[in-house]
Amino acid sequence: MKRNMTQRIFIIVISVVLLFISAGMTKGDGDILAGPEGWIQNGAGWIEGVFYTPFSGLFADGKGTKSASSPSVEELKLRARVNELTKENQELKEMLDYKTENRLESIQARVVYRSPDRFSNRVVINRGTDDGVRPKMPVVTPQGLIGRVQTATSHMANIQLLTDSGDGPGIAAVVQTDKGEVLGIIEGYDEQKRRLIMKKVPVTAAPKKGQIIVTSRLSDIYPGGILIGTVDAVTMNESQVEQVVYIKPSASFEQLDYVAVVKDPEKLQLKSMQK
């Protein structure tokens, strides 16, 4: 019984092959098939459909499953937006907590531009004089001081970061030691070491690695107590008459999104008196 079935299948296959050969030999130059050629083509298509359909279904299902599991462009856009809003929400919360803890009157702003010139070390924020921003005002993040307002228009302001070792006044700062505060002036930034440089530190002082450095209340620009960073290394200057402290900044200058411009009424009054 099995042998007869095999013979029949063999005969059917041979017949189909002969029909295909005949169709190939008799096919004309036209694009439209008619008569026996058309029947053979239709029959071949039917046979192909019988054998291909189950497998094509599998491939289609697999392809469909892949398409369903792979995110579409709209999904990717939505995810990107959700991630962005989550990040913004976290940064805004940190900024609010920082403002509350430090009791600072500040103007919240967002960085909208950063110069492609990596040596300029400046960013532009979306707040200006109409929002109360004035030149020389300190700019902070929840991690600490990042710079000061250099210039301002009605709706934007140019921020000079601490990493800018160019022209500009030094920053009066203090090292908080076990024996009291040690005063010095931050004047420069070492790009290779990625450290702020604090000069004019007395040779009698003994700052140690890890000790905290904050702005001095004696500064005519910065309110006292704003975190700058920690002592990373201490050396003597070339003349051996003072020490140089290398500061590891507490704030990151690479990724700046939301910042706060500090409004200190006392400093504003001092500036008015100096004028």
Query: What are the domain boundaries of the chain?
Result: 2-23+34-69, 90-274
**Rounded-to-integer distance, Cα 227 and Cα 3, Å:** 92
In the DSSP assignment, the letter for residue 32 is S
pLDDT at 201 over 60: yes
* pLDDT classification of 61: cutoffs 50, 70, 90: very low
What value does the mean pLDDT take over residues 2-16?
Answer: 57
Q: Is 209 helix (H, G, I), strand (E, B) or coil?
A: coil
Alpha-carbon distance of 255 to 90, in angstroms, equals 14
Instruction: Please tell me the predicted confidence (pLDDT) of residue 272.
Output: 64
At residue 242, does pLDDT exceed 80? Answer: yes
- Asked whether the predicted pLDDT for residue 72 surpasses 60, the reply is yes
List helix spans (H) across the chain: 2-26, 35-69, 73-102, 265-274
131: Cβ contacts below 8 Å, ≥ 6 apart = 107, 109, 155
Place 102 in a pLDDT band, splitting at 50, 70 and 90. Answer: low
Domain 90-274 has CATH 2.40.10.350: yes
Give the pLDDT band (50/70/90) at residue 246. Answer: very high
Res. 29 pLDDT band, cuts 50 70 90: very low
- pLDDT tens string 142-171: 889 999 999 999 999 999 999 886 666 789
pLDDT computed for residue 217 by the predictor: 86
- Average pLDDT of 131-139? 93
Contact of 198 with 213, CB cutoff 8 Å: yes
Residue 179, pLDDT above cutoff 60? yes
Q: Residue 67 above 90 pLDDT? A: no
Mean pLDDT of the 245-269 span: 85
- Taking the C-alpha atoms of residue 130 and residue 153, their distance in angstroms, rounded to an integer, is 8
Q: Angle CA(238)–CA(243)–CA(247) in degrees, nearest 5?
A: 115
DSSP conformation class of 71: P
The arithmetic mean of pLDDT across residues 224-229, rounded, is 90
| Residue pair 232/246 in contact by the 8 Å Cβ criterion | yes
pTM to 2 decimals? Answer: 0.62
pLDDT, position 185: 93
Whole-Å CA distances, 11 to 6, 14, 36, 41, 252: 9, 5, 20, 19, 80
pLDDT for 225 beyond 70: yes
**Cβ atoms of residues 138 and 224 within 8 Å:** no
